[in-house]
């Protein structure tokens, strides 16, 4: 009888020991998982910091060390630059030397730079054909062998860059609308509001002049009396 009780006690002790061992193993497992998660988080943080550092650092490489993927547009604009300056002036509204000088200014004073996909000369050439010749994107696509999406992206990049130079490089508009714009209906959608405002201002000035003259005449007649 006592022997049976001893066996039961031994079995209970073995069960308790096995439960303690299982609990200890579980605690060690969870601790290892916790350390692993903290290590992964630290690695992710370091990788993010490296990405931010690399994104903020600009690596300048000369264009001649880069291989431009689409050489058609590059060759197109450089053939135009080496062609007749008079023809270039009619197409791009400026002479080749002025065009190259503007490209250098854009590189120095704005965020634009040459990449292995496109150069600043090609971006400016696309922009000037759209603005100066009123070309559509599909025409630029055929001329430079660029997609319409890439043409749109390059146009807006160049527009933002030129806006940053507008205060220093572009002439300020005068108060009088040129007759070529005022009498041409083509520009009405863009300058109609300004023309109307200028007309209203001129009428207000005329009325003010008439009022001042009337006041002056009244004061002179009162002094004579």
160, 142 contact by CB (below 8 A): no
Where residue 93 falls (left for φ over 0; alpha for ψ -120 to 50; beta otherwise) is: left
78, 121 contact by CB (below 8 A): yes
How far, in Å, CA of 119 to CA of 208, rounded?
55
Read off the pLDDT of each residue in 200-209 and give the average, rounded to a whole number.
67
Q: Is 58 helix (H, G, I), strand (E, B) or coil?
A: coil
pTM across the whole model = 0.49
Helical axes 137-144 vs 120-133, angle rounded to 10°: 140
Q: Which is nearest to 164 in space by CA: 102, 106, 103, 104?
A: 106
Whether the per-residue pLDDT at 38 is higher than 70: the answer is yes
Pick the more confident residue, 213 or 199: 213
Helical axes 137-144 vs 148-169, angle rounded to 10°: 100
pLDDT digits (tens, 9 = 90+) for 61-99: 444 444 555 688 888 998 999 989 999 999 898 999 999
DSSP type of residue 183? T
How far, in Å, CA of 65 to CA of 8, rounded?
85
pLDDT digits (tens, 9 = 90+) for 108-151: 988 888 888 888 999 999 999 998 888 888 888 888 888 888 88
Q: What burial class does residue 88 get, using C-beta atoms within 10 Å of its C-beta: 0-12 exposed, 13-18 middle, 19+ buried?
A: buried
The confidence score (pLDDT) of residue 96 equals 92
H or E element: which one contains 11? helix 2-56
110, 92 contact by CB (below 8 A): no
The confidence score (pLDDT) of residue 122 equals 92
Whether the per-residue pLDDT at 201 is higher than 70: the answer is no
How far, in Å, CA of 74 to CA of 117, rounded?
10
The confidence score (pLDDT) of residue 179 equals 78
DSSP type of residue 65? G
User: Could you tell me the pLDDT band of residue 172, with boundaries at 50, 70 and 90?
Assistant: confident
Pick the more confident residue, 36 or 105: 105
The confidence score (pLDDT) of residue 14 equals 59
Read off the pLDDT of each residue in 40-68 and give the average, rounded to a whole number.
63
Look over the chain and give the mean of its residue pLDDT values, rounded to a whole number. Answer: 75
Read off the pLDDT of each residue in 178-205 and give the average, rounded to a whole number.
63
How far, in Å, CA of 62 to CA of 149, rounded?
26
Query: What burial letters (b/e) apply to 118-156, b meaning 16+ CB within 10 Å?
Result: bbbbbbbbbbbbbeeeebebeebbebbebeeebbeebbe
Whether the per-residue pLDDT at 21 is higher than 80: the answer is no
């Amino acid at each position: 009888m006592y022997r049976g009780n001893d066996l039961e006690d031994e079995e209970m002790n073995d069960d308790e020991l096995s439960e303690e061992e299982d609990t200890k193993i579980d605690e060690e497992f969870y601790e290892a998982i916790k350390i692993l998660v903290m290590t992964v988080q630290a690695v992710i943080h370091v990788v993010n910091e490296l990405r931010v550092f690399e994104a903020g650092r600009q690596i300048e490489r000369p264009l001649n060390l880069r291989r431009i993927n689409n050489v058609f547009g590059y060759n197109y604009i450089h053939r135009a630059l080496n062609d007749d300056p008079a023809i270039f002036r009619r197409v791009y509204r400026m002479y080749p030397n002025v065009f190259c000088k503007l490209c250098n200014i854009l590189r120095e004073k704005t965020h634009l730079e040459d990449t292995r996909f496109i150069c600043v000369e090609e971006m400016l050439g696309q922009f000037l054909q759209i603005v100066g010749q009123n070309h559509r994107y599909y025409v630029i696509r055929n001329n430079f062998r660029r997609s319409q999406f890439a043409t749109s992206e390059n146009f807006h990049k160049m527009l933002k860059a030129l806006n940053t130079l507008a205060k220093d490089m572009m002439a300020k508009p005068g108060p009088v609308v040129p007759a070529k714009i005022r009498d041409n209906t083509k520009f009405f959608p863009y300058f109609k509001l300004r023309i109307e405002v200028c007309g209203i201002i001129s009428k207000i000035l005329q009325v003010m002049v008439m009022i001042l003259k009337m006041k002056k005449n009244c004061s002179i007649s009162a002094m004579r009396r």
